[in-house]
């Protein structure tokens, strides 16, 4: 980041946004009138959208989400956007620490310096930890349930050393998250595909067992896994068996079709209707968010609603 964040300055700015006068949702469906009128969802799972499916403008995104029956937006991390979400009856279902300074991938808020948000590698000068503590306060103030953490790349650090780094980091911040009632979730990311660049650095948390070992060792009700089902299928498979054994350690889900990371419908190898029913039957009460890109030529709103109905068990 460009300079170390100060908690006083950050929380003050967030409090100002939260205190701003905003219109409470008169009717999310009325505000979304330009979109098709869909029957209300009746399932047991809360669903969210990720930036892969966002409109160019946050107001358009919120209008579309309200029409579709979505309840939260992952990664809507700019405090200036939060009053708009509130107007449409939405929350930030998954908050990123990254906001301001540095560079990032297209469609994401700017990140910080190298190693930022990679808890499997050493946190130089404690910058990320300080920023995370600020974001925990902001999440608690605004009623946002979870904050995403990633574990970085192995590169010259092995799995075991990365686990030690991640555990030590989480042990330092767990009490703060517990006190504020905010859940920190670690996301699994696949290590790439054969035929890619030569010897790419592998994802530190690429197999579910690695992250499970981390969160069970930390043993906090506010430190859990973000199970990205697309990445998990590429690396591990045996999805529902893992869920049945370990649901207590899971705080958030991302969906995505395999192969291709497109719609989660009958054209994909994962049976998302069965997976969603398993998740619901196990009593999961967090968010399951759509993180896929509509296939070329498909109508985005129609594709989204079809996939939302698949999850609406």
90-102: pLDDT as tens digits: 999 999 997 543 3
Tell me the domains of the chain and their CATH numbers. Answer: 7-311 (3.20.20.150)
Per residue in 218-257, pLDDT (tens digit) is 999 999 999 999 999 999 999 999 999 999 999 999 999 9
Structure tokens at 55: 């409109």
Phi (first) and psi of residue 142, to 5 degrees: -105, 5
How far is 148 from 51, CA to CA, in rounded Å? 14
Q: What is the pLDDT of residue 221?
A: 98
Closest CA to 117 of 12, 1, 221: 1
Residue 183 has pLDDT above 60, yes or no: yes
Closest CA to 205 of 247, 258, 167: 167
Burial environment of residue 299 by CB neighbours within 10 A (0 to 12, 13 to 18, 19 or more): exposed
Burial environment of residue 83 by CB neighbours within 10 A (0 to 12, 13 to 18, 19 or more): middle
Q: What is the pLDDT of residue 245?
A: 98
- Least confident span in 137-146, 184-193, 237-246: 184-193
Q: How confident is the model at residue 32 (pLDDT cuts 50, 70, 90)?
A: low
Q: What is the pLDDT of residue 193?
A: 58
Burial environment of residue 36 by CB neighbours within 10 A (0 to 12, 13 to 18, 19 or more): exposed
Q: What is the pLDDT of residue 35?
A: 81
Share of the chain above pLDDT 90, in %: 65
Q: What is the pLDDT of residue 177?
A: 98
Per residue in 49-108, pLDDT (tens digit) is 997 777 668 888 999 999 999 999 999 988 999 999 999 999 999 999 975 433 445 545
Q: What is the pLDDT of residue 53?
A: 78
Structure tokens at 106: 């297209």
How far is 312 from 127, CA to CA, in rounded Å? 40
Residue 3 has pLDDT above 50, yes or no: no
Q: How confident is the model at residue 198 (pLDDT cuts 50, 70, 90)?
A: very low
Q: How confident is the model at residue 24 (pLDDT cuts 50, 70, 90)?
A: very low
* Residue with token string 């590429």: 234
Q: What is the pLDDT of residue 118?
A: 87
What mean pLDDT do residues 261-286 have? 96
Q: Which residues of 102-112 are buried (b: 16+ CB within 10 A; e: fewer)?
A: eebeeeebebb
Hey, CA dihedral for 10, 89, 68, 72, is it positive or negative?
positive
Structure tokens at 46: 């809360």
Residue 147 has pLDDT above 50, yes or no: yes
Query: What's the chain's average pLDDT?
Result: 85
Residue 23 has pLDDT above 60, yes or no: no
Length of the chain, please? 313
Q: What is the pLDDT of residue 40?
A: 93
Phi (first) and psi of residue 78, to 5 degrees: -85, 115
Share of the chain above pLDDT 70, in %: 80
């Amino acid at each position: 980041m460009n300079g170390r964040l100060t908690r006083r300055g950050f929380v003050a700015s967030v409090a100002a946004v939260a205190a701003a006068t905003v219109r409470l949702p008169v009717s999310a469906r009325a505000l979304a009138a330009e979109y098709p009128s869909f029957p209300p969802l009746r399932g047991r799972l809360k669903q969210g959208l990720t930036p892969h499916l966002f409109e160019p403008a946050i107001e358009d995104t919120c209008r579309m989400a309200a029409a579709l029956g979505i309840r939260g937006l992952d990664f809507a991390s700019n405090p200036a956007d939060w009053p708009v979400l509130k107007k449409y009856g939405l929350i930030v279902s998954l908050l990123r620490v990254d906001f301001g300074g540095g560079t990032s991938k297209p469609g994401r808020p700017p990140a910080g310096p190298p190693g930022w948000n990679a808890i499997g590698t050493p946190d130089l000068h404690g910058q990320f930890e300080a920023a995370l503590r600020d974001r925990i306060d902001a999440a608690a103030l605004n009623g946002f349930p979870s904050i995403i953490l990633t574990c970085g790349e192995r590169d010259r650090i092995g799995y075991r050393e990365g686990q030690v780094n991640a555990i030590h980091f989480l042990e330092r911040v767990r009490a703060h998250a517990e006190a504020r009632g905010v859940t920190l979730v670690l996301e699994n990311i696949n290590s790439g595909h054969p035929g890619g660049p030569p010897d790419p650095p592998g994802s530190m948390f690429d197999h579910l067992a690695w992250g499970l070992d981390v969160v069970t060792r930390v043993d906090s009700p506010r430190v859990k896994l973000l199970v990205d089902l697309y990445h998990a299928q590429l690396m591990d498979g045996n999805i529902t068996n893992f869920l049945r054994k370990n649901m207590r350690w899971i705080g958030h889900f991302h969906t995505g079709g395999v192969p291709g990371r497109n719609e989660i419908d009958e054209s994909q190898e994962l049976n998302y209707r069965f997976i969603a029913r398993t998740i619901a039957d196990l009593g999961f009460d967090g968010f399951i968010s759509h993180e896929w890109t509509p296939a070329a030529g498909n109508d985005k709103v129609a594709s989204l609603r079809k996939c939302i109905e698949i999850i609406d068990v």
